[in-house]
Chains A and B, each alone.
Chain A
Amino acid sequence: MIRFSQVTKRYPNGHEALKQVSLFIDRQEMVFLIGHSGAGKSTLLKLITRVERSTRGQLIVNERNLTRLPRRQVPYLRREIGVVFQDHKLLNDRTVFDNVALPLVVAGVGHRDTSRRVRAALDKVGLLGKERLFPITLSGGEQQRVGIARAVVNRPPILLADEPTGNLDAELSDEIMDLFGQFNQYGVTVLVATHDRRHIARLGKRVMELSDGSLIQGAEEG
């Protein structure tokens, strides 16, 4: 599903965030990406969504070769990847419903379908009944769940999360992580970047570890 071959990312300021990283994540797999801050976790996720481009090496995501992906194809790549951000990235001037509906609106899904799927997504994260509220009135954990509902509402085959529990207490973090586990059971390929090793022990999934831009553990399964 996701394959990196000798991928290097060097930023314009000369900093080499990723050094010759090769990895493979299979369809329907769930993987944790760990490493100290500045190890390159965020850069790795940004390469998958083509927010950043690799300097060298080859990247294949859901059978798309990102090194040769034309600019106008980028939106369609991103529709196949749900992303959960640490800072939620919600629109505070729109209701929970409108926030979650945004990927469907962007993709041109019809009105009735949109309504049905937004409710289903909110139901899954336990926020049904709050669709008319504004994100700012929700707690941090609830806002993060709105973000998750938005990430999965158009049923993407890949789900990425960048420190999704960074600002949450242990109990809420566990709830969120369990949600990712559930989506993985439904067949979604999940990649979660975190620095919280507690979840890894709890869920027992493969772990990839980055250190100073190099992958030092878990490049391939087994």
Chain B
Amino acid sequence: MTAYLTRHLQVLLASIGQMARNPGATVMTAAAIGVTLALPTLLYLITDNLERASAGFDKGAPVTLFLRKDLDKAGAQALARRLAQRPEVTASRFIDADAALAEFKQRSGLAAALDMLEGNPLPHSVVLDLSADEHTDFASRMLEELEADPDVSLAQSDLQWMRRLRAIVSLAQRGALLLAILLAVAVVVIISNTIRLAIVNRRDEIVIIKLIGGTDAFVRRPFLYSGFLQGLVGAVVAWVLIAGCLYLLGGPVDELSRLYGTEFRLVGLPLRDALLVLLCGGLLGWVASRWAVGRHLSRIEPR
């Protein structure tokens, strides 16, 4: 058993040595595999972050009711109080038309243009927070009901927005999965090609080893290790690329989330998933070399 492990260790070290002796080729292959693995992982990370971000918004997708223009302030306040009584409503906020205009002037920077208007074009409005709002069916039913109220001219919620976003995110997730499968095939092709070249380059050696009684397993072993190592090194490159991308994206994302007034922060690859990427890289490399070896090694026989 010790001898068996020693032999494997020898082959592993020899494979590492071989990679170290050809730094150019090793770096090129590792870079190609790294980019190939980094792409779907990044896409997954982005959709994952989007999903978390939208989940954050979901919690209190408030409903804004724009009231009939001819409803006076007292009537509007009465409606706000009436709606607050309803069990589905956790909070109700009345927004005065004048206050809304003032805020709009301040935020939009269109103060001069707005001053030219005669009177206030904005209606009074009420913002409602709904309970059980994560249940979208309930929320949309509420929305219809509120819209039917004769005093309400328009009921609007971020709900539709959320639904669209969620549909886009799930589409992107499906896309990431498909991309991952396609690129996994690409990794296998890249590695199996380098292994094929290695086999062709070492043809004489393989013939001699077979002539002096090397078993197929013995001949195969260094190529399997080399494929595994290439996949692993490629995965490490992917990891570094991802970390770099997240670092570069972190600043702008923080800025964006500050502008939207949310607490959202970009979440990187958790250690478990990072190790999974490494494992996938190594496994793909092993599969690729197994494939290449299966196709090419049996054809090399002493003559």
Contacts and interface: CB of A to CB of B under 8 A. Distances in A.
Interface of A: 49, 51, 72, 75-79, 83, 89, 91, 102-103, 106-108, 110-111, 150
Given A108-B7, A110-B3, A91 B204 contact: yes
Contact of B213 (A51, A72, A76, A91): A76
Nearest to A104: B212
Contact of A51 (B3, B204, B302): B302
Q: Which 10 A-B pairs have the closest CB atoms?
A: A79-B213, A78-B213, A106-B214, A75-B213, A75-B215, A103-B212, A51-B302, A89-B208, A106-B213, A91-B205
Interface string B196-217: 0000000011011111111110
Nearest to A89: B208
A78 B303 CA distance: 14
Q: Is the interface of B mostly helix, strand, loop or mixed?
A: helix
A49 B211 contact: yes
18 contacts: A51-B211, A51-B302, A72-B215, A75-B213, A75-B214, A75-B216, A77-B213, A78-B211, A83-B212, A89-B204, A91-B205, A106-B209, A106-B213, A106-B218, A107-B213, A108-B3, A108-B4, A111-B6
A83 B211 contact: yes
Contacts of B211: 49, 51, 78, 83, 89
Q: Is the interface of A mostly helix, strand, loop or mixed?
A: helix
Contacts, number: 50
Interface string B203-241: 011011111111110100000000000000000000000
Contacts of B301: 51
A28 B210 CA distance: 26
Given A51-B303, A110-B3, A79 B208 contact: no
Contacts of A72: 215-216
A75 B205 CA distance: 15
A102 B215 contact: no
A78 B212 contact: yes
Contacts of B4: 108
Contacts of B215: 72, 75, 106
Contacts of B214: 75, 106
Contacts of B205: 91
Contacts of B216: 72, 75
A117 to B, nearest CB: 14
Contacts of B210: 75, 78
A89 B302 CA distance: 11
Contacts of B209: 102, 106
B212 A79 contact: yes
A102 B212 CA distance: 8
Interface in B270-303: 301-303
Nearest to A76: B213
Contacts of A75: 210, 213-216, 218
A101 to B, nearest CB: 11
A102 B209 CA distance: 8
Contacts of A91: 204-205, 208
Nearest to A102: B212
A106 B169 CA distance: 55
A43 B92 CA distance: 98
